[in-house]
Amino acid sequence: MGRRFRGESQHKVDNKGRVSIPASFRRVIEASDPNWTAGATPELVIVYGDHRRDYLECYTIEAIEEVDSKIDALPRGAMERKMLQRLFHGQSFPTSVDETGRLVLPAKLRAKIDLDGEAFFIAAGDTFQIWKPQTYEAQEAARTEEWLDKLPEDFDPLEFLDGAQGG
């Protein structure tokens, strides 16, 4: 597994759907694309998924290949394999970062998450997500606060990692 994405930021989306990717995210995309060389444009895959997903999930080449091999390990003809192929192969958009560090998000993907003037980027380990800022605030930030509010005041979330198996 390659490097991990870290952080969050907000960027303008122009009328053609072009949006700058955070510089630190670009370095991870480059490092996780086995075909990338200096001066070339690194590739990634945007999974837009089913109707319940309100964000775009961006996978590095290494990350999507890991998902692909897990799907391939499922029995042919199994409903789980068919559905995962549809969600990760069919409902995805292979693309590359342009020479100025931008993604071009097609109108279909922007419309799916109601994205217009601004995009919110947030790291998610070996992927990152692109959200409409207002949707992120209303759904994900509220969900995180709700989860934390259920824990005792002095609880350290790192305790969840005790006994976790390393990868």
pLDDT confidence tier of residue 97, bands split at 50, 70 and 90: very high
Nearest to 112 by CA among 89, 86, 127, 93: 93
Checking if the pLDDT of 157 tops 90, the result is no
Average pLDDT (158-166) is 75
Average pLDDT (67-83) is 95
* Predicted model pTM: 0.87
Average pLDDT (65-80) is 95
Q: For residue 39, what pLDDT is reported? A: 82
Average pLDDT (141-160) is 84
Instruction: Report residue 113: phi and psi, to 5°.
Output: -110, 15
CA separation for the pair 28, 131 (Å, rounded) = 19
Average pLDDT (44-70) is 93
Which residue segments constitute the domains of the chain, with CATH numbers given?
Answer: 8-153 (3.40.1550.20)
Q: What is the 3-state secondary structure (H, E, C) of the chain?
A: CCCCECCEEEEEECCCCEEECCHHHHHHHHHCCCCCCCCCCCEEEEECCCCCCCCEEEEEHHHHHHHHHHHHCCCCCCHHHHHHHHHHHHCEEEEECCCCCEEECCHHHHHHCCCCCEEEEEEEECEEEEECHHHHHHHHHHHHHHHHHCCCCCCCHHHHHCCCCCC
Tokens, residue 135: 């949707």
